[in-house]
Amino acid sequence: MPQPQPYDFLSLVQGIMDLQELLAKMTIKLNYAESRLSQLESCHCEKTCKANGAEYRNNEMWVEPENCRNCACKNGVVECRRIFCPPTNCSADSLPVSVEGKCCRKCRLKCIYKGKIFSERQRISMESCRECKNGMMVKVTENCPALNCTVNEQILPENRCCNVCKGHDFCAEGIYCGENSICKNLNTKAVCECKSGYASIHGDSTYCEAFRLQRQPNAGLAVAARYNVDQ
């Protein structure tokens, strides 16, 4: 049996020293990793939400009047609810009207002109153009543009003082409709119409919410039931 040589012993010692050095380095790294893990476990990382190009903190709330809803950030998830509109209960001398940028209608003084009732901002064109403002029909002076159509091809739109050509694109004038509705041209005006699968909110098709078919217990017919898709 061959006898171990001195260099074999030195090589073994060197190997043991290398292992000890490696063990020391691994111990340092392990201690650092455990320290970092402990810090992460004790750290409360807030989950934010992104909506409408903005970032919101957890439990922060905001209003989206253009979509007729209140929203909140809940642990990184955006939750929205339809804005509740209380009954208007307008007095006898006022009428509920839609206010631009507002989901709920407001009471405004009505006008009585030649035996007819008009709501705020409603116009009529007879011998002159008049508009209902603060309970009074005031005369409106408006410079009507020249039209590129014959007189027989002209119409007077609803709530306007100036004629337009038949087939006029009222939607191109910037009529606002919510994200779940679309603008539709009629003969004398533009209206908002709910997209397929959606129903109007508060009787105003400017704002619409989703609905689905539900089958009533002990009934053979399915009925449409409104629900908030964000709930």
Q: Determine the Cα–Cα distance for residues 47 and 62; give it in Å rounded to an integer.
A: 17
Would you say 123 and 158 are in contact if contact means Cβ atoms under 8 Å apart? Answer: no
Helix, strand, or coil (residue 20): helix
Q: Determine the Cα–Cα distance for residues 162 and 156; give it in Å rounded to an integer.
A: 6
As a whole number, the mean pLDDT across the chain is: 82
Mean pLDDT of 196-213: 80
Each residue of 86-97: pLDDT tens digit?
888 899 999 998
The domain limits of the chain are 1-41, 52-82, 88-157
Total-model pTM: 0.56
Q: Determine the Cα–Cα distance for residues 36 and 204; give it in Å rounded to an integer.
A: 56
- pLDDT grade for 222, boundaries at 50, 70 and 90: very low
- pLDDT grade for 225, boundaries at 50, 70 and 90: very low
DSSP string of 49-66, one letter each residue = EEETTEEE-TT-EEEEGG
With 70 as the cut, is the pLDDT of residue 5 above it? Answer: no
Each residue of 123-178: pLDDT tens digit?
888 768 899 999 999 998 888 889 999 999 999 888 888 899 999 999 998 888 88
The DSSP secondary-structure symbol of 38 reads H
Range among 42-51, 71-80, 196-205 with highest mean pLDDT value: 71-80
